Structures are given as structure tokens and as C-alpha cells.
Structure 1
Amino acid sequence: MSVYDVLLERGYIKQLTHESEIREILEKEKVTFYIGFDPTADSLHVGHFLQLMVMSHMQKAGHRPIALIGGGTAMVGDPTGRTDMRKMMTDEEIAHNIQCFKDQMSRFIDFSNGKAIIANNGDWLLNLNYIKFIREIGVHFSVNKMLTAECFKQRLEKGLSFLEFNYMLMQGYDFLELNRKYDCSLELGGDDQWSNILAGVDLIRRKEQKPAYGMTFTLLTNSEGKKMGKSVNGAVWLDSKKTSPYDFYQYWRNVDDADVEKCLSLLTFLPMEEVRRLGRLEGSGINEAKTVLAYEVTKLIHGEEEADKAKKAAEALFSGGGNMEGVPTSSIDKDMIGSSLIDVLVATKILPSKGEARRLISQNGLSINDEKVSDIGRTLSEQDFKQGFVLIRRGKKNYNKIVIK
């Protein structure tokens, strides 16, 4: 089975520019391909993880990945899927985020001995001569055609800045540069990047008179079509400091029943026979599939030891056991005892805001030591620290411990 068949069977492939040609080159040749990552945060998130899974499948089949970090495009900001303009970042923020991305990617992709490449488009975009650029590249782009692209349509209602309008040209130019430097002939990306990918394919074919191809993969969405990867505290990050291994495990343990088979297929390397078996489970049996999903994804991101700890902690909490080793733990100074519980939860970043804390309390969604919190003004007392910690529960299955420094 070729990698094309693997990606198709597992549900990754969404759109292709030249289906029969792409299938043939992936079966018969070793292709250099790229996926772009704009460093808009200091960690990758679960949406990026799906892209890393595609890169890993491709690399295992003998193809060479380029992870293109957008040190240049991050200065502009991708308007795709946005109703407003992205926050402008400083050079220092972008440089820091690039290093974080590199460190995380190396856990999934083998960059040794030229088997994969990390490139930074800031190397060629930041020193461009603008007049030369628009004469060489801009002449190949039709404004009328660009305005029909999905990535711009949403922004036209509120206003699209000329800064962002340049993004498609820059992404197309990235593909051209990678084609010239590394003979890269295939661009991959989420389906929301289709218009930008088409621009790069067309640019190479015009400028170089060479074949170039594009393929998009499905976005990580739930059965209702909404993007996955959001929790009470915001995005589900791959960095353990931003989303603990336990919270990460719990996110996948709590996905809707209808999304389990899809997530097993896209986010694990389990054989499809096993994926389909788990996907067929119903009733209480679906919990087995969710446990397998949570464990496998956590193991890939955080390693087997952390996955084991998260699984044991979850099982201990739900069975009434005492193994709390893997539960995310925050510490507070002793002088915070007597403070508002809401203030403590926000200070420890267990909850992102006071508004979110009040909402949880008003909806009976917050417990302390297994007792529902009904009073918004409740304070944290010394008596709450049973066995040396306070156990906070958010919703049905999200737990945190608070200890005193």
C-alpha cells in the first residue's frame, strides 16, 4: 500500500490539484514536500499535530519533509479563517516562537542526515526588494481571482488590509523558493489553505515551466463541523507547561462518541483494522475506545511515562482511588489562604478568567474536594487542604490539585 492509499484510507486527503499525477509520483518517486507553520504562539497545538502526523506518514514512506517556519509571513499574518486582523508580533516574539516550534517538531520528524529540513521563510522574505518582488511575482496574480478566494471572503465584510492581501503572494513565493532550493514539488496543508496552495502551484508552473502539485487534508473538526482543540483554558497545546499531560489526556478521553473513530484514524498510528473495531463499540464499550485514543495520543506527544501517569490518575479519580500523581498541580503562597476561591483559580491559571469561574459556579460545574461550589464569594480556607492539597474539579472530569508552597 502506497502512502497515498494510507492517507486516503485514514481520512486525511481533502483536495488535490492533480489527483492521478500525485498518486503516481507518491507511488513511484521520492518527493520533497513542505508544510508551512506560522509561529504565532510559543507552542504548536493539536491542529498542528494533524499536520505533523501527515509529515510522519510521508517520511516513513521515504519522502522528504520540509517544515517551513513562517518567520517572514508571521510579520504579516494569515487572514485565513479570521474576521479581524491578527495581532502584530515583535521580531523577538517571532524568534522565540520559531525555536519552540523547532524543539517540538524534532520529537515527531527525523531531521538527521538530511532526512527532513527546517526552513525559515524570513531568510528570503525579510530582505526582498518590494518593487522587484511585485514586478517578478505580483504580475502573475490576478486581483479579481484573489478576491474570490475563501481566505479573503470573510475579511472583505469588515475590511481587508493591504498588508494581509500580500499574504497569498508571499506563500506562493515560498513554494517557488523551496522548489528552486530543494526541488520541492508538493505543498501540503489544511483545507483552509487551498487558495494559497493553488497560488503557489500556479506560480511555479508559470515561472519555472515545471510540474508542481498541491494537496490539502481535512481539518480537525468534530461531528458538528466545529474545530477541535479548544478546552476551558483555551487551546490544547503540545507544550506540557501550557496543557499538562493529564489535561491533554482528559481532552481526548472526553471527546464525543461520534468523533472517536475519526480521531483514532487521524491522530494515532493504530492499524485501521483496530481503529474500525474500536469505532464500532457502542454504549459503555465506547469508553474503551476513548481510553485507547487518549492514551495513544498522549503517548505520542508526551511519551509513554507521562501517558501512563495520566491514565492512572484518571482511573484513580473515577474509581475513588488515591493515586493523584498525574493530576496537574499548582502551588500557592500561604498568604493566599483566605482569598476568594475565584482569585486563587485565576492566579493558578486553573481557569483563564474570573468570568469563566463565575460561569462554572453558576452552572454547578465547579467542585472543591467533591463538594459543589454554589457561593461565588467562597474563600479558600486552611480546612480545605485535606491530605495536604485541595482537589478542584471543573465539569465532570477535569481535575487539578492546589498545594501550599
Structure 2
Amino acid sequence: MNAVIDDLSWRGLLAHTTDLDALGAHFDEGPVKTYVGFDPTAPSIHMGNLVQIMVHRALQRAGHRPVLLVGGSTGLIGDPKQAGERVMNDVDVVAGWVERIRSQVGRLIDLDGPHAGTLVNNLDWTSGISALDFLRDVGKHFSVNRMLDREVVKSRLEAGISYTEFSYVLLQSLDYRELYRRYGVTLQTGGSDQWGNITAGVDLIRRSEGARVHALATPLLTKSDGVKFGKTESGTVWLDPEMTSPYAFHQYFLNAEDEMVVSYLKVFSERSHEEIDDIAAQQAEKPFLRVAQRALANDITDLVHGVGERQGAEAAAAALFGRSELRDLDARTLAAVATQLDAATVQVGETWPSVVDALAESGVVASRSAARRAIEEGGAYVNNMKVTEPDARLSQEDLLGGQMVIVRRGKKTVGALRIQR
């Protein structure tokens, strides 16, 4: 078997291929042009998209050349989803998202050197095609019966699906063919939920070009309860630092489940098999040390946000739990911490709130009486300073970054307040 396929398989990144042996032989023939697409249905890509980037980084390390497509045209339509019809976004909004996502993916793939990647926008070749040409040149190769047989379409038929979303598969197939013609692309990857779209492109190239190309799908990553990995109670984990702060991003991976963390590490870390196996052994022996979680959080934050942002996230976490100085954190990091802690907002008039009120408002204790007990027992802190007086009040001097106060009960229960005057 081919070495890159062996690596992808070991990392748990193979769910389906059109023909695994043929794909391995194709890799052995020399550098392969590979492609994956990202539709701009939001201002940023997310963790599911990052899986595909990790696949193409692995392919690039093995000497192959990735083509990363941002769907300026397909993003105007939207792939059908189980939940129902997508809302079509304004053309100018989608164009702005295209540029933001191009910038994101361009930082994560090497665009220089002997195996340089290429960024493309499918609007470049779809915008000039007439409806008549599209139907004659692409639509004639598609069976409606096969299109109806797609799982997502079957699930939507009873509630209804628009012709626009029903026809999305034709546009994605056209992309594969166009990239085959323009760049010699012979492999498309995607999540397993995209398998029908991907193989439709393989079939279009076979029918219209008489050529054999390949497809590879990765499993959908989930948590142990079946929820998609990268989803939280507050929403999606985005790669854009304005949508998910580097601190929240780092914390998300630090909190990965013990039973799943090694699987995630194989996907999102570029450490060697031997190093990951060693981390897995340490994790199994002493899971309370959370060696795998730290490796995962550090590696993926370094990749997406850079070493400096990861160090800032670590410094913020250390400061929260009294291991460094909270006042050294910048306002942006403090704001991210407050959001992550679901900070309560407190209006201050002539009288500042008591520490008892602050502890209760922040949610670190269940009641004012519990807050008073925490103070009396020596377990209450404001900005990491122990509070010993049950009647103590906050003051202007307690504000971090001009508006934040961090409160803590014991070693691990932390909360925050936003003070407004």
C-alpha cells in the first residue's frame, strides 16, 4: 500500500475511496493534483473544514499538489442540508466571505515551493456559462433517478426541496471537471456527507472526458455522544479569531474527552506515529495528567493561530487559576476570558457591589449565604486575591482592563463580572 494512504488510514482519515488500490497506484506514479472545496456559507471555516486541510497538508508533505477551491458560485446556492432549505445570502456578502476564507486557507497550505498549492474560485468559470449551455453540457450527463437517490434529497422530499438546492450536485461536479481540465486534478476529497457530490463529479469526468479520476472521503468526527466534533453549547468552533477567540479555541481542545482525545490528536497533529503512540501510552497510564489534551490543544492552536496566541491562551488560563498575574493580560484576552466564562453584567451606581454579591452574580456559588461561607472558610478570591472580610466590596481598583472582575471559589470554580457604570 502507498505510504500516504497508510498514514491517512492510521490517522483515521479514510471513510470511502472509489478504489483504494487504484488510488495507491496513482500516488506511486508521481505527484498528484488534489482538490477540496469550501463554500462560503459563513465568514469563516470551522473544524470540519480543518479536517480536509489536514488531509491536504499530509498529501502536500508526501509530494502532491493541493488545489483549494473557495466556492464563490456554489456558496450562492448552498449544498442541501437535512434541516431544510438554506437562506440565500446577498451576493456582496458572499463575495466578502470568499476573500476571508481564501485568506484563512491560504495561511494553512504552503503556496510556494516545489509542491505549491493553488487557490481558486469557482465563480471564475461558472459566471460566464449560460443556463442553456449548462443544461446541454452538464445536465445531460445526470440521471434524475440517481439525483433523487441521494440520502439528503430523499430526506427532504416530503417537506420539499427547491430546484436550486436539488441541482447543487451539478455545480460541484462541474468544478471537478473544470479543475481536471485546467489543472490536471485527479483526486477530490471531502467529508463522508459529501460522498454523493464527489462521486457524481467522478462520473461526470468519466462520461464527458473518458478519463478515470479518484475520490476520497473522511469520516465525520464526532464526540462520544455522537454530536459533531467542533460543536459546543454556544455554537460552532470557528477558525476566525474574531468568532472563536484563541483562548476559547485552546480551551476547547484542552477539554477533549479522554476516550476520544487520541483520535483527535491523530487528525489534527502532525507529530509522528511514534510520538503520538508514546503520548497515547502516557494518557492511558495517567489520564489525569491530560498529556494528550495539552498536545492536541497546543499543536492545533499553533497551526491555526500561531505560537504567540497559544502562549497567550496558556497565560490567560494560568492567570485565571492563580498561577500568574491577571493584570498582565491584555484587554482582548480578558474579553475572550469573560465571554468564555459567560460573565454577568452588573450596573454600578453610587455603591459598588459586595464581594458576596459578586460571587453569587457570577455563578461561582449558588447563593449569597454560600458566598459568605466561602469567604469565612478562606476560599473566596477577587482577581486572585483572597477575600477575608464577609462585608468587603468591590472598587474601581479591582477592575481589569477597565471593566472586568474575576472571582473564584476554591481552586477551580471561576467566574467573571462585567462592570458598567
Secondary structure of 1:312 counterpart:
helix
Report the Cα offset of residue 170 of structure 1.
0.7
Secondary structure of 1:301 counterpart:
helix
Taking the aligned partners of 1:385 and 1:187, their CA distance within structure 2 comes to 58
The residue that corresponds to 1:301 in the other structure is: 304
Q: Indicate yes or no: 2:365 matched with 1:372.
A: yes
Report the Cα offset of residue 404 of structure 1.
7.0
Taking the aligned partners of 1:124 and 1:398, their CA distance within structure 2 comes to 53
Report the Cα offset of residue 392 of structure 1.
7.1
User: Does structure 2 retain, via aligned residues, the 8 Å contact 1:328–1:401?
Assistant: no
Secondary structure of 1:257 counterpart:
coil
Report the Cα offset of residue 65 of structure 1.
0.8
User: Does structure 1 retain, via aligned residues, the 8 Å contact 2:344–2:417?
Assistant: no
> What letter matches 1:77 in structure 2?
G
User: Does structure 2 retain, via aligned residues, the 8 Å contact 1:83–1:158?
Assistant: no
Change in Cα spacing, 1:298 to 1:305, as seen in structure 2 (3 Å) is: same
User: Does structure 2 retain, via aligned residues, the 8 Å contact 1:247–1:398?
Assistant: no
The residue that corresponds to 1:160 in the other structure is: 161
1:5-404 map, 5 Å:
5-80=6-81, 82-112=82-112, 115-280=116-281, 281-282=283-284, 283-285=286-288, 287-319=290-322, 321-323=324-326, 325=329, 328-330=333-335, 341=344, 368=362, 371-372=364-365, 383=395, 386-388=398-400, 389-391=404-406, 402=418
Report the Cα offset of residue 250 of structure 1.
0.4
Secondary structure of 1:34 counterpart:
strand
Taking the aligned partners of 2:60 and 2:256, their CA distance within structure 1 comes to 29
RMSD after superposition: 2.8
Taking the aligned partners of 1:246 and 1:402, their CA distance within structure 2 comes to 18
User: Does structure 2 retain, via aligned residues, the 8 Å contact 1:66–1:119?
Assistant: yes
Change in Cα spacing, 1:400 to 1:78, as seen in structure 2 (3 Å) is: farther
Report the Cα offset of residue 286 of structure 1.
5.0
Taking the aligned partners of 2:322 and 2:134, their CA distance within structure 1 comes to 63
Change in Cα spacing, 1:131 to 1:343, as seen in structure 2 (3 Å) is: farther
> What letter matches 1:325 in structure 2?
L
Deviations 1:53-86 (A, max 9, x none): 1111111111111111111111111014x32111
> What letter matches 1:311 in structure 2?
E
Report the Cα offset of residue 382 of structure 1.
6.2
Change in Cα spacing, 1:292 to 1:126, as seen in structure 2 (3 Å) is: same
- Identical aligned pairs, as a percentage? 36
User: Does structure 2 retain, via aligned residues, the 8 Å contact 1:77–1:86?
Assistant: yes
Taking the aligned partners of 2:267 and 2:298, their CA distance within structure 1 comes to 14
Change in Cα spacing, 1:120 to 1:286, as seen in structure 2 (3 Å) is: same
TM-score using structure 2 length: 0.80
Secondary structure of 1:25 counterpart:
helix
Change in Cα spacing, 1:317 to 1:185, as seen in structure 2 (3 Å) is: same
Report the Cα offset of residue 322 of structure 1.
2.9
Secondary structure of 1:158 counterpart:
coil
Taking the aligned partners of 1:401 and 1:123, their CA distance within structure 2 comes to 49
Report the Cα offset of residue 160 of structure 1.
1.0
Report the Cα offset of residue 127 of structure 1.
2.5
Report the Cα offset of residue 121 of structure 1.
0.8
User: Does structure 1 retain, via aligned residues, the 8 Å contact 2:269–2:299?
Assistant: yes
Taking the aligned partners of 1:374 and 1:36, their CA distance within structure 2 comes to 51
Q: Which moved more, 1:285-294 or 1:382-391?
A: 382-391
User: Does structure 1 retain, via aligned residues, the 8 Å contact 2:249–2:301?
Assistant: yes
Secondary structure of 1:211 counterpart:
coil
User: Does structure 2 retain, via aligned residues, the 8 Å contact 1:329–1:403?
Assistant: no
Secondary structure of 1:329 counterpart:
helix
Report the Cα offset of residue 155 of structure 1.
1.8
Taking the aligned partners of 1:244 and 1:404, their CA distance within structure 2 comes to 23
User: Does structure 1 retain, via aligned residues, the 8 Å contact 2:45–2:101?
Assistant: yes
Change in Cα spacing, 1:399 to 1:233, as seen in structure 2 (3 Å) is: farther
Q: How many residues align?
A: 368
User: Does structure 1 retain, via aligned residues, the 8 Å contact 2:345–2:420?
Assistant: no
Deviations 1:81-126 (A, max 9, x none): x321111111111111111111111221112368111111111222
Taking the aligned partners of 1:385 and 1:157, their CA distance within structure 2 comes to 62
Report the Cα offset of residue 371 of structure 1.
3.5
User: Does structure 1 retain, via aligned residues, the 8 Å contact 2:346–2:417?
Assistant: no
Deviations 1:343-378 (A, max 9, x none): 99xxxxxxxxxxxxxxxxxxxx9963x733669xxx
Consecutive unaligned residues of structure 2, counting only runs of 5 or more, are 337-342, 348-358, 369-392
Report the Cα offset of residue 165 of structure 1.
0.7
Change in Cα spacing, 1:180 to 1:285, as seen in structure 2 (3 Å) is: same
Secondary structure of 2:12 counterpart:
coil
Taking the aligned partners of 1:252 and 1:167, their CA distance within structure 2 comes to 34
Taking the aligned partners of 1:259 and 1:343, their CA distance within structure 2 comes to 39
